[in-house]
């Protein structure tokens, strides 16, 4: 019998495959269609000739760990120890998997806020713990009454994703104050903060768990260079946590991957000297504004987008179909691929919402919009 009876093919695989099959414009799976920065690819070409092709220390290449510490200090005024508090991971996905597997025990409960990204539940189920999925409010803010009702002595961890995929919502100061107040009653509960879109927050208004005095010492914060540097295929990210939690992650990491790709680590360490990730939001803010104005005359109704490279749209004025059927028809009849939002919920909602990825060249977005405004 399968250990994962509820786990089918990821929606990202399904939609990208179908987009390829029908040669549709792929605004479904989240990845940029423009090239990586030439400065980064030049660094790769240069360092590939050096002797950097063997295993690195298992928790990460020391210069990279040091530069991540500097970046964390610059971005959030948080001082972290490169050696005991940072772990380089094979993408955010491995950081999330490792944190859950290393810290959550059998019969624990982990709170997940729906709509939620798809890699959280499997590692929870694998340790025979229970994912407790609580729907966000209709505007994608946390439902504090429901969260508070779900907390009990078995609650081990709350997973936050901020800025939020798929909705593009960003947590406010008041959301954090509510969380901090609630957690005063649960001193043992940990936070897993998935902040992979930390540098794609419009108006630069992301509040990180790194800057919350009451949360940071009970949190594992996850980041992804894939998002920050337009290199999703490199699969490189990192986790930051206080040393007593990090030592548990490391015990597992050394037998899960041992160490992460050396070329990627050395290249990013050098690249971090010449880029400032906290200007990235300007680039994507222009893309968001451009995409939204291209769709202004369409029959889609666009929800607010405060961060990430995803735009959620309602098709309620266009069709009564469920969102999966609608996105499939969008590919076949109109040649544009998107992601249905219901797949991110445990209790399937039928809000007629779909997600477009706007991390694309302007010409890709223009071509897609030409098709979408005809619907």
Binding site for ligand GLN (CB under 6 A): 10, 12, 29-30, 165
Q: Which is nearer to ligand GLN, 72 or 167 (CB)?
A: 167
* CA–CA separation, 92 and 96 (whole Å): 6
Q: What are phi and psi of 46, to 5 degrees?
A: -70, -50
In the list 26, 72, 208, 232, the residue contacting ligand PMP (rule: CB under 6 A) is 232
Q: Which is nearer to ligand PMP, 196 or 215 (CB)?
A: 196
Q: Which is nearer to ligand GLN, 78 or 287 (CB)?
A: 287
Q: How far is the CB of 186 from ligand PMP (least distance, A)?
A: 24
Q: Which is nearer to ligand GLN, 29 or 101 (CB)?
A: 29
Q: How far is the CB of 140 from ligand GLN (least distance, A)?
A: 15
In the list 92, 136, 158, 303, the residue contacting ligand PMP (rule: CB under 6 A) is 92
Q: How far is the CB of 257 from ligand GLN (least distance, A)?
A: 17
- With CB under 5 to 8 Å by kind, the binding choice for 91 among ligand GLN, ligand PMP, none is ligand PMP
* Cβ neighbours for 258, distance < 8 A, ≥ 6 positions apart: 55, 58
Q: How far is the CB of 201 from ligand PMP (least distance, A)?
A: 13
Q: Which is nearer to ligand PMP, 235 or 250 (CB)?
A: 235
Q: How far is the CB of 284 from ligand GLN (least distance, A)?
A: 15
Q: How far is the CB of 198 from ligand PMP (least distance, A)?
A: 11
- With CB under 5 to 8 Å by kind, the binding choice for 298 among ligand PMP, ligand GLN, none is none
Q: Which is nearer to ligand PMP, 69 or 99 (CB)?
A: 99
Q: Mind spelling out the 3-state secondary structure of the chain?
A: CCCCCCCCCCHHHHHHHHHHHCCCEECCCCCCCCCCCHHHHHHHHHHCCCCCCCCCCCCCCHHHHHHHHHHHHHHHCCCCCCCCCEEEECHHHHHHHHHHHHHCCCCCEEEEEECCCCCCHHHHHHCCCEEEEEECCCCCCCCHHHHHHHCCCCEEEEEEECCCCCCCCCCCHHHHHHHHHHHCCCCCCEEEEECCCCCCEHHHCCCCHHHCCCCHHHEEEEEEHHHHCCCHHHCCEEEECCHHHHHHHHHHHHHHCCCCCHHHHHHHHHHCCCCCHHHHHHHHHHHHHHHHHHCCCCCCEECCCCECCEEEEECCCCCCCCHHHHHHHHHHHHCEECEEHHHHCCCCCCCCEEEEECCCCHHHHHHHHHHHCCC
Q: Which of residues 172-211 bind ligand PMP (CB under 6 A)?
A: 194, 196
Q: How far is the CB of 224 from ligand GLN (least distance, A)?
A: 9
- With CB under 5 to 8 Å by kind, the binding choice for 12 among ligand GLN, ligand PMP, none is ligand GLN
Q: Which is nearer to ligand GLN, 15 or 266 (CB)?
A: 15
User: Are 359 and 32 spatial neighbours (Cβ–Cβ below 8 Å)?
Assistant: yes
In the list 60, 91, 123, 131, the residue contacting ligand PMP (rule: CB under 6 A) is 91
Q: How far is the CB of 339 from ligand GLN (least distance, A)?
A: 7
Q: Which of residues 21-40 bind ligand PMP (CB under 6 A)?
A: 30
237 binds ligand PMP (CB under 6 A): yes
């Amino acid at each position: 019998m399968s250990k994962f009876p509820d786990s089918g093919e990821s929606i990202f695989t399904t939609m990208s495959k179908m987009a390829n099959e029908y040669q549709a414009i792929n605004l479904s799976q989240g990845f940029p269609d423009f090239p990586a920065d030439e400065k980064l690819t030049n660094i790769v070409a240069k360092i590939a000739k050096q002797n950097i092709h063997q295993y690195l220390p298992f928790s990460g290449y020391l210069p990279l760990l040091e530069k991540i510490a500097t970046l964390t200090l610059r971005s959030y005024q948080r001082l972290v120890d490169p050696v005991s508090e940072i772990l380089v991971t094979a993408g955010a996905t491995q950081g999330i998997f490792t944190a859950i597997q290393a810290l959550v025990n059998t019969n624990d409960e982990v709170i997940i806020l729906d709509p939620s990204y798809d890699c959280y539940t499997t590692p929870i189920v694998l340790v025979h713990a229970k994912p407790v999925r609580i729907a966000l409010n209709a505007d994608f803010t946390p439902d504090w009454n429901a969260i508070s009702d779900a907390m009990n002595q078995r609650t081990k961890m709350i997973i936050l994703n901020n800025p939020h995929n798929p909705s593009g919502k960003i947590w406010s100061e008041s959301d954090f104050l509510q969380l901090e107040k609630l957690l005063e009653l649960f001193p043992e509960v940990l936070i897993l903060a998935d902040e992979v879109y930390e540098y794609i927050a419009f108006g630069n208004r992301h509040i990180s768990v790194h800057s919350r005095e009451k949360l940071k010492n009970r949190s594992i914060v996850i980041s992804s260079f894939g998002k920050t540097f337009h290199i999703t295929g490199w699969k490189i990210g990192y986790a930051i946590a206080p040393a007593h939690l990090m030592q548990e992650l490391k015990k597992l990491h050394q037998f899960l991957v041992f160490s992460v790709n050396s070329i990627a680590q050395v290249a990013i360490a050098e690249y971090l000297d010449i880029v400032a990730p906290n200007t990235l939001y300007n680039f994507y803010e222009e893309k968001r504004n451009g995409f939204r104005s291209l769709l202004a005359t369409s029959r889609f109704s666009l929800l607010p987008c405060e961060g990430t490279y995803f735009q959620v749209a309602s098709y309620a004025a266009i069709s009564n179909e469920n969102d999966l059927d609608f996105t499939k028809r969008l590919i076949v009849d109109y040649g544009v691929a998107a992601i249905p939002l219901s797949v991110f919920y445990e209790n399937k909602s039928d809000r007629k919402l779909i997600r477009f990825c706007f991390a694309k060249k302007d010409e890709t977005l223009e071509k897609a919009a030409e098709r979408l405004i005809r619907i």
